[in-house]
Amino acid sequence: MAPKRGSSGISLGGDGSGGGTVSNRCEGAFYFDSDNLGWSVAELVISGVSLVAFIVLFILYIVQVNRKPHATKIVKWWTFGLALIFTIIAFVLRLINDVLNDCLITSFYTYNAIWIAVTILFYGLAYLIWLAIFMLPLCLQMLRQARCPTKLAKITLSITLGVLSTIWVAVNVISSWNSWDQSRYFYYDVEFNTHIYNAANALSATYNVLYFVATLVGSAVLIYALVKIRQNPGIKIWVPFTIAFFLASNILSLIEVFHWTVPKKSYTAAASTATGVLDIVFIFGVALGILFSASSNGFAHSNALQSTPGHNPPPVYSDSVPMYKPEMDGQSSVVTSTAYSQYPQAPNNHQQQYPTHQQQTWNYQSTQPPGEWQQAQAQWQQPTEMPVQPPELHGQQRFEAPAQNSSTR
């Protein structure tokens, strides 16, 4: 999300004594300030473990997509895969930066430039892409699975995401300028622009609040779809898992912004390490949840579902079946009825050339939707035997009814 250090200042490496570079104090091995030895080691471990974890997740993504191709409806390579690549690159840079900063072998400009890149790639692009996946393909596929309309949801979620992306661009531009301004102030005593600093903090807070609202909207859509879906264990496990981790990540970000960024407080070593670990754990859970939600077997056949409730697959029409209405006013009419069913008409290999009324009744009953046969029985009495016109006379022909059935309605 919004960079937690980019808008309110970052932890400064070196001793602040001036100059564009800091001398090498590693002397062939890592150097750590004795006061911050534990935290420095912790930062290196966190960066290394996070890098390994997201590489494993990327491998798992490739395996899942190959095993279950329907997962690409949600986790496409140019969205989910790209977000994982951005994250892996960010943690490689972060690991390098931690080593350079702890050894004090680089300039503060270099350190700051690398940290800005980490912030934009991980806290910026990757977080925004995961929100986009969460709000659009995941929500829309869930609505289709629940047979709910998707047009209004798609328009609303797209507009929300577009507004948020615009603010994200402004946040990263102003925050990056703010970081460079801090660098110049720290090393060269150049006047610090407080207006940019305050604007960066305000935009950071606005972005985080809107990000949280967008997550709430997407979560509400997913919960609504979950209620509509009755049976699907995979979806009912991993979608709530994703929602829980995404909301937890947003709540943590709001705490960071309104406890440290807006009041202009500096992070302590413990607070920086703890919030950094939780940020990574929560977003890793979000990525894992999205991947396994998309891989759920419930989405394997979701393309066949219609977006409107109660809309069945297109019906299959069987051949026209001639129906005979019993005598009315001394004559009987031939009625041709087209059978309607979701399934093809069952073959009747034993039907004679001139079927009896009972045989024709079987065809009518087997090809009508439930309920129509019962209505037909209630309206017309069934004669014991009734000759049927030869096939060549089928149509709207009329014939004289047998005399013995003249009293039958």
> d(Cα 329, Cα 311) in Å, to the nearest integer?
42
Summarize the confidence of residues 180-208 as an average pLDDT: 82
Q: Which residue has the higher pLDDT, 30 or 54?
A: 54
The length of the chain in residues reads 409
Q: Is the pLDDT score of 344 beyond 60?
A: no
> Per the structure block, which two tokens stand in for 353?
């050339």
pLDDT-derived band at 261 (thresholds 50, 70, 90) equals: confident
Summarize the confidence of residues 90-103 as an average pLDDT: 88
Ranked by mean pLDDT, the top range of 192-201, 297-306, 359-368 is: 192-201
- The backbone torsions φ and ψ at residue 132, rounded to the nearest 5 degrees and listed phi first, read -60, -40
What is the model's pLDDT at position 377? Answer: 58
Domain ranges of the chain: 34-304, 316-405
Q: CA angle, corner 87, sides to 83 and 90, nearest 5?
A: 140
Closest CA to 342 of 319, 318, 363: 318
Coil/strand/helix, residue 240: helix
Q: Which residue has the tokens 């969460």?
A: 134
Over the stretch 33-51, which tens digit does the pLDDT of each residue have? Answer: 555 677 788 889 999 999 9
Mean model confidence pLDDT for the chain: 75
Over the stretch 123-135, which tens digit does the pLDDT of each residue have? Answer: 899 999 999 999 9
Ranked by mean pLDDT, the top range of 212-216, 298-302, 392-396 is: 212-216
What is the model's pLDDT at position 329? Answer: 46
Q: Is the pLDDT score of 10 beyond 50?
A: no
Over the stretch 84-93, which tens digit does the pLDDT of each residue have? Answer: 999 999 999 9
CATH of domain 34-304: 1.20.1070
Pair 367, 339: CB distance under 8 Å: yes
Closest CA to 204 of 276, 127, 304: 127
Summarize the confidence of residues 326-333 as an average pLDDT: 46
Other CB atoms within 10 Å distance of the CB of residue 183:
21
Summarize the confidence of residues 198-218 as an average pLDDT: 93
- Rg of the Cα trace of the chain? 35
What is the model's pLDDT at position 335? Answer: 44
3-class SS letters over 313-358: CCCEEEEEEEEEEEEECCEEEEEEEEEEECCCCCCCCCCCCCCCHH
Closest CA to 10 of 182, 125, 169: 182
Which of 10-14, 122-126, 337-341 shows the lowest per-residue confidence on average (mean pLDDT)?
A: 10-14
Pair 141, 74: CB distance under 8 Å: yes
pLDDT-derived band at 182 (thresholds 50, 70, 90) equals: confident
Q: Is the pLDDT score of 215 beyond 80?
A: yes
> Per the structure block, which two tokens stand in for 192?
């610090």
Closest CA to 325 of 248, 388, 267, 275: 388
Coil/strand/helix, residue 113: helix
> d(Cα 111, Cα 225) in Å, to the nearest integer?
46
Q: b/e for 36-58, b at 16 or more Cβ within 10 A?
A: eeebbebbbebbeebbebbeebb
What is the model's pLDDT at position 209? Answer: 95
Q: CA angle, corner 275, sides to 269 and 281, nearest 5?
A: 135
Q: Is the pLDDT score of 284 beyond 90?
A: yes
Burial of 334 from C-beta contacts in 10 A (0-12 / 13-18 / 19+): middle
> How far from each other are the two terminal CA atoms of the chain, in whole angstroms?
78
What is the model's pLDDT at position 239? Answer: 95
> d(Cα 355, Cα 212) in Å, to the nearest integer?
71
Pair 225, 145: CB distance under 8 Å: yes
pLDDT-derived band at 378 (thresholds 50, 70, 90) equals: low
Q: What percent of the chain has pLDDT over 70?
A: 64
pTM: 0.68
Ranked by mean pLDDT, the top range of 335-339, 345-349, 376-380 is: 376-380
What is the model's pLDDT at position 265? Answer: 87
What is the model's pLDDT at position 354? Answer: 46
> Per the structure block, which two tokens stand in for 275?
């919030």
What is the model's pLDDT at position 192? Answer: 73
> Per the structure block, which two tokens stand in for 118?
């980490």
Pair 179, 116: CB distance under 8 Å: yes
Which of 19-23, 61-65, 188-192, 248-252 shows the lowest per-residue confidence on average (mean pLDDT)?
A: 19-23
Q: Is the pLDDT score of 237 beyond 70?
A: yes
> d(Cα 179, Cα 190) in Å, to the nearest integer?
13
Which of 54-63, 179-188, 228-237, 274-283 shows the lowest per-residue confidence on average (mean pLDDT)?
A: 179-188
